[in-house]
Amino acid sequence: MSFKPHGKHLIAGAWVAGDTTFESSPATGPAHHFSVGTPELVERAVEAAEGAFEAYAATTSEARAAFLDAIAEEIDTRGAAITEIGTQETGLPTARLEGERGRTVGQMRLFAAHIRKGDYLDRRHDAALPDRAPAPRPELVMVQRPIGPVAVFGASNFPLAFSVAGGDTAAALAAGCPVVVKGHSAHPGTGEIVAEAIKAAVERCGMPAGVFSMIQGGDRKVGQALVQHPLIKAVGFTGSLAGGRALFDLCAQRPEPIPFFGELGSVNPMFILSQAAKARAEEIGKGWAGSLTMGAGQFCTNPGIAVIQDGADADRFVAATAEALNDVAAQTMLTDGIARAYCEGRERISSDASVRPVVVADSEGRNAAPALYETTAAEFLANQALHEEVFGPLGLVVRATSADEVETIARGLEGQLTVTLHIDAGDMDAARALRPILERKAGRVLVNGFPTGVEVADSMVHGGPYPASTNFGATSVGTLSIRRFLRPVCYQNVPAELLPEGALA
364: confidence class by pLDDT, cuts 50, 70, 90:
confident
Q: What's residue 219's pLDDT?
A: 82
Predicted confidence (pLDDT) at residue 297 exceeds the cutoff of 80 = yes
Predicted confidence (pLDDT) at residue 274 exceeds the cutoff of 80 = yes
What's the rounded Cα separation, in Å, for the pair 48 and 16?
14
For residue 21, the SS3 value is: strand
Query: Per residue, what are the HEC states of 328-343?
Result: CCCEECCCHHHHHHHH
Q: Which of 74, 192, 263, 389 is catalytic?
A: 263
Q: Which of 300, 343, 374, 389 is catalytic?
A: 300
453: confidence class by pLDDT, cuts 50, 70, 90:
confident
Per-residue pLDDT, averaged over 195-205, amounts to 98
Q: What's residue 489's pLDDT?
A: 98
Predicted confidence (pLDDT) at residue 363 exceeds the cutoff of 90 = no
Q: What's residue 261's pLDDT?
A: 97
- AA identity, residue 308: I
Q: What's residue 505's pLDDT?
A: 81
Predicted confidence (pLDDT) at residue 201 exceeds the cutoff of 80 = yes
3-state helix, strand, coil in the chain (%, to 5): 45, 20, 35
State pLDDT tens for residues 96-138.
999 999 999 999 999 999 999 999 999 999 999 999 999 999 9
Per-residue pLDDT, averaged over 405-411, amounts to 98
Going from the C-alpha of 58 to that of each of 52, 63, 96, 147, 207, the distances in angstroms are 10, 10, 38, 12, 11
Per-residue pLDDT, averaged over 257-270, amounts to 96
Per-residue pLDDT, averaged over 66-71, amounts to 98
Predicted confidence (pLDDT) at residue 3 exceeds the cutoff of 90 = no
300 in catalytic set: yes
Q: What's residue 22's pLDDT?
A: 95
177 in catalytic set: no
Q: What's residue 365's pLDDT?
A: 87
Please report the beta strands in 184-231, taking only residues with DSSP state E, as ranges in sequence order. 212-215
Averaged pLDDT of the chain: 96
